[in-house]
Amino acid sequence: MTLARPMALLAELTHRCPLRCPYCSNPMNLTRKHDELPGVAWRRLLDEAVDLGVLHVHFSGGEPAARADLEELVAHAADIGLYTNLITSGIGLGESRVARLGSAGLDHVQLSFQDAELRNADRIAGLEGCFVRKLRVAERFRQLGVALTVNVVVHRQNLAHLEDIIELALNLGADRLEVAHAQYHGWALENRAALMPNADQLASAVDIVAMARVRLKGKMEIDHVVPDYHAERPKPCMGGWGRRFIAVTPAGKVLPCHAAESLPGLQFETIGHRPLADIWRNSDAFQRFRGTAWMRTPCRGCANRKVDWGGCRCQAFALTGNANNADPVCSLSPYNAEIRARADCESKAPPPAFRYRREVFMARKPD
């Protein structure tokens, strides 16, 4: 069997971010500004990615606009034929920067909102005034004709506003809305009890999305993936380990998934030390959970093993203590009953206070 080529590269340009969302997908251990890769290294990486077959690049963070060279990187990616996507909170994107991103050839922007209700949105983001600023940023991108996806991470503290969230995206002129349930890793796992929806909230969300999809067909697409803990089978995390996806951290570590650093005993290569193609094909980290040879029961021999690829390795490790186990959100996992019961119990109790993401010092030099 020939090795698949990667389709997408997630470029986490920085961990700096003005928001402090309690479900942030960045690792608990954040990279400081002075450890970030320089632009020239990112440009070389993008060249290598294209040669390897990458088609989409997602510029993300942290807040990618915290990097002054964001426009240059987007321009370079567009020049070499990549489809460019900017994943942003919108904070830091004034009129002139948005215009520069447009001229750089940005294809698509994914703008986050924390809720449709101003006060709750600002409270979840941990930054007063951010909701209104985001509205302006959406308008700027629309005027420029850049395709817009509104992304809203949903959980027990905003799901009751789902209908308003759909209206908000529609009023902003979004082409797509992503209703993304929090993924319980890192910060979100710390805040799971404050975020986990109960079964009734979830069922109502599924109905609301189904009705809106019919009503808005051809006008706005809605992506909605049922959250892990309520599903029968796990998701094929990253489309399978080392099959489609590469993530690169602000410090230049090359990962099969953006959360992979949470796994113990894996050595990650840093760009510049070894060609990207070699890292993709041969490195220990990419080989470790590629394919099905690493699997144990119940994944080994399961009819779905090449559909879900055993689910998420990071979740398996975080919840069972062993990254080789089946993702415990799978109903076939021996850990499933206990984990479901715990999540169910958390979702019914009053939500505890958020534990906000730590701030990263924005511009401190090393001592």
Instruction: List residues near other proteins by CB under 8 A.
Output: 5, 7, 51-53, 55-56, 81, 83, 85, 107-108, 110, 145-147, 149, 175-176, 217-219, 221, 223
CA distance 288 to 293: 9
Least distance to other proteins, CB of residue 79, Å: 14
Least distance to other proteins, CB of residue 78, Å: 10
> For residue 197, what is the DSSP state?
P
The CA-based dihedral angle spanning residues 185, 186, 192, 195, taken in that order and rounded to the nearest 10 degrees: -90
Instruction: For the chain, state the CA radius of gyration.
Output: 20
Q: Taken in order 30, 251, 130, 24, is the CA torsion positive or negative? A: negative
Least distance to other proteins, CB of residue 5, Å: 7
Comparing CB distances to other proteins, the nearer of 199 and 210 is 210
What's the Cα-to-Cα distance from 163 to each of 169, 205, 224, 248, rounded to whole Å?
10, 9, 13, 35
Comparing CB distances to other proteins, the nearer of 98 and 318 is 98
Comparing CB distances to other proteins, the nearer of 20 and 108 is 108
Task: For tokens 């019919």, name the residue.
Answer: 214
With a CB cutoff of 8 Å and minimum separation 6, the contacts of 218 are none
Least distance to other proteins, CB of residue 292, Å: 24
Least distance to other proteins, CB of residue 58, Å: 9
Q: Are 74 and 86 in contact (CB under 8 A)?
A: yes
Q: Are 69 and 38 in contact (CB under 8 A)?
A: no
Comparing CB distances to other proteins, the nearer of 219 and 365 is 219
Least distance to other proteins, CB of residue 51, Å: 7
Helix axis angle, 39-52 relative to 70-79, nearest 10°? 20
